Chains A and B, each alone.
Chain A
């Protein structure tokens, strides 16, 4: 497959892995946080840990949009479909995330709520056009990558004068999450989470550019390498981070130069700024309430804001007591540290959000394992 196979070449991988093994210093470890679930997935699916020296430790970050969505937000989405009788359009990943009282969008759908899986915001608009006598709400989630398409849908709805379409906006911001992690007591004061550098987001950075990370490199002295999601991208970015750390540098480097520029996609940024503005605060699963970490719909598009139209109150709901998703999303724990991992909580019957999404760390560990689940558990203990 052209433009894909080139980034999955086993021979190149082995030679890169040898270079990394040659360059790591025997006297230190390299704790690298891959922010995105896409990277976590690539690491597990291609068995990258097997290729790398043990000095390289991956810490899985919170960059999985479904994982960081708090229970209260899913409860609100279910409320829209069940109590307000709307057609709720959702991305597939969100369907199985556990909500309060052992429900989920999928269970609510089975009980009769009109919840439809869509592949894009354009599909939701189409459903609104086809059902003029029904209220249609698009359950918008995701980081900066999925925000521009939501903005396009909102602008189009206003241009067309679609009266029955609105958006339940839950778009969150990557830099705020990174800052929150760097300022957390575990990283800053207690040192319980050793963190030497970041493998930065690829798709998000095509929109926001590499510039926003410069602050972290400078202020917190942590190198950031923006990396593509293919396995060779990840290996190359590991090498770049090892070199920065060995040389005592803390810079923003761009491994994913085939798609990311320093400024990012200015047109998309303009579109997002036209439709959205910062929220004062937003609750993240795992990180809690993070100030200025999410977007809400601007006054000019108020008529299309589902939170306004349906007067949705936000109720914060604590996670299940046994679920460690919060600590895993902060990098404090690994999936196998959770007592319910692989027992009560499995992809078929998830207790926490990290087990649901293909980008979640628990799902990646469970699905692809590390040799076998036994050795994974042994390594953890």
Chain B
């Protein structure tokens, strides 16, 4: 039997620290809010976290491939406005399904536009997606200039209140996302993804189709952003072209807290999923700890900074010891 090695755990399992963080956050939240695991509370929390979980999973794929996608919030907005204007408050379930498919198509298309610029034209990901983010939010504003519209309350309630076997819908979605990721990870594409993110030139030399791999990461991210857009539309039941804008930076924070390096090639999808949940739990902790109103933003930001810095600090201390 090998002794437990912190370094090995950190290196082999990038989600390791994220899980520790989540468990700590869960324990603190549970102490402050003893009914947090009651079915209703758990479900109401998870349905709020799910859009960010989906968004972070997509963002993780792009970041693993060495890029970054700042346009995800814009894609969320497009999907939200499509559903809110086309389905309407009195729409039928069939209409909803139709436009869910249209939305997914729109997400894939938006991702493909990003991918085309970045993979084929070799433009900088951060600038490209920053620019397209305005393109997408602008398009969403064009679809729905004033907040309004929505989807039927019954359909929104399916999202809000479905708890098969007493577990929130979000758990099943997370399980499906992780299972698909596990499968992808085991395919050749999975290996290519890490190769491209780690060192694109070396990958190219070894005949990895770098361009196509890069392109596909943005398509996946667009698709996941569309799913996030569908989820948040079902959560809020209404349309607002600005809805996705604040979500972009949070998705990147979730990825980093989840142990996936912005440099690319290191990490996975499970960590970012855990990171997105942790960010939500942190908000709960702030809310239940009854800190003074004027300090809320400061305390929340401090916790996130500490969470981001912790793995680095631990590594630094360990290096000094040796």
A, B: real partners = no
Point out residues on A near B: beta carbons under 8 Å: none
Point out residues on B near A: beta carbons under 8 Å: none
